[in-house]
Structure 1
């Protein structure tokens, strides 16, 4: 049973760990670590990737990317003027890279606000495979939140980092 002291408000059955042993320089909001749920395709604070049929077969480093909110719901720039929510354009993720919420300016709230704001901007944009695409959407979210103190996220950097840091779903 949830109590007001343990409720996070992002996942119904998730509670925060006890406060003892937590780094006192960070707030509880900054230390939330919600586990990955592969069955439900929930990847909190993660960048997710899935292959694009035919294109990824020819160029294995090219794929479709999305970014998940604090509760794990994936948002992806799926095409012209479309940002999908919880339904990736090319199917469920095959790789993910879980980031640390406390490295986003504003913690959990900052993360979610940046993902929401980037999604609203991309709902007004034409999709361009080469220069304004799903990777650009994720980069904008990371730049808006100043993830890891940086505002220089871009599609090339993200493509390389998902190759290096991405974990396969199974």
Structure 2
């Protein structure tokens, strides 16, 4: 069993730096309907966010609205900084040559490739589904605003649907 340590770099909310983290933010309209679906990026050891933002484009610190709603700090091998950064870099270079597809080859796929390249948790089977579950179950909201940005539109939409449904049933 290998020794792990949680990233030694500190999260800096003001500078939007999340070392050794996966970050997530809701996508307007889509996340209002399905709040567990959103945009994902992976951070370097210094906290710089890399995300597959569109066809043939991997952004560097241009994460949507510069403000992730959630972050998941990952375990890193004591000697894993170079391997981590190399995997994030290599996945980003690969995705600079790919067409973005909302359903099949997207920001989650980019993060999954980075985790597979670094053999995170001794696995090469990271994919969109288990990353979605990782963010949903282990993600921590970076602020109250991040929580509200994720859930308030969904709850308002459900409230409107419920109110209209009740009003129609009272007729």
**Normalising by structure 1, what TM-score?**
0.79
Partner of 2:54: 79
Relative to total residues, which structure has the larger helix share, 1 or 2? 2
- Structure 1 CA distance for aligned equivalents of residues 6 and 19 of structure 2: 13
**1:62 counterpart (20, 32, 37):** 37
Partner of 2:89: 116
Unaligned 5+ segments in structure 2 are 144-171
Runs of 4+ in 1 over 3 A off after TM superposition: none
Task: Verify: 1:148 aligned to 2:121, yes or no.
Answer: yes
Structure index of larger Rg: 2
Unaligned 5+ segments in structure 1 are 1-24
Partner of 2:75: 100
**1:169 counterpart (132, 138, 142):** 142
Question: Offset of 1:31 from its aligned partner?
Answer: 6.9
Partner of 1:9: none
- Structure 2 CA distance for aligned equivalents of residues 85 and 112 of structure 1: 13
Q: How many residues align?
A: 142
- Structure 1 CA distance for aligned equivalents of residues 125 and 6 of structure 2: 24
Partner of 2:27: 52
